Amino acid sequence: MTKTNAGHFFEDFTLGQILTHATPRTVTAGDQALYLALTGTRFALASSSPFAVSLGYPRAPLDDLLAFHLVFGKTVSDISLNAIANLGYASCIFKAPLYEGDTVTAESRVIGLKENSNRKTGVVYVESIGRNQHNETVLGYVRWVMVRKRDPASPAPDPLVPELPEAVPAEHLVVAPGLDLSRYSTDMAGAPHLWDDYEPGERIDHVDAMTIEEAEHQMAARLYQNAAKVHFNLHAEKDGRFGRRIVYGGHVISLARALSFNGLANAFAIAAINGGAHTAPAFAGDTVYAWSEVLDRHELPGRGDLGALRLRTVAVKDRPCADFPYRDAEGAYDPAVLLDLDYTVFMPRRV
CATH number of the domain that residue 118 is part of:
3.10.129.10
Number of domains making up the chain: 2
CB 89 within 8 A of CB 110: no
pLDDT at 240: 85
Query: What pLDDT was estimated at residue 84?
Result: 84
The verdict on 208 and 324 lying in the same domain is yes
133 located within any domain: yes
Residue 23 preceded by cis peptide, ω within 30:
yes
- Domain boundary pick from 96, 121, 149: 149
Coil/strand/helix, residue 160? strand
Q: Is residue 158 assigned to a domain?
A: no
C-alpha to C-alpha distances, 47 to 36, 51, 188, 263, nearest whole angstrom = 8, 8, 11, 18
Task: State the residue range of the domain holding 89.
Answer: 13-149
Is the pLDDT assigned to residue 86 strictly greater than 90? no
- Please choose, from the candidates 49, 73, 74, the residue with its C-alpha nearest in 3D space to the C-alpha of residue 61: 49
End position of a domain, from candidates 132, 149, 166: 149
User: Does 124 share its domain with 259?
Assistant: no
Band of residue 82 on the pLDDT scale cut at 50, 70, 90: confident
Model confidence pLDDT, tens digit, residues 31-45: 999 999 999 999 999
pLDDT digits over 230-271, tens only?
899 999 899 888 999 999 999 999 999 999 999 999 999 999
What does the pLDDT read at residue 2?
81
In-domain check, residue 7: no
Residue 70 within any structural domain of the chain: yes
> In this structure, is residue 281 part of a structural domain?
yes
pLDDT at position 229, please? 86
- Angstrom CA distances, 346 to 45, 128, 170, stand at 12, 23, 11
**pTM across the whole model:** 0.96
**Given this model, what pLDDT does residue 241 score?**
85
Whether 100 and 201 map to the same domain: the answer is no
Last residue of a domain, one of 131, 149, 167: 149
CB-based contacts of 297: which residues, under 8 Å, 6+ apart?
Answer: 195, 198, 199, 200, 307, 308, 309, 310
Kindly give the pairing relationship between strand 83-94 and strand 121-131: unpaired
Q: Is residue 242 part of a domain?
A: no
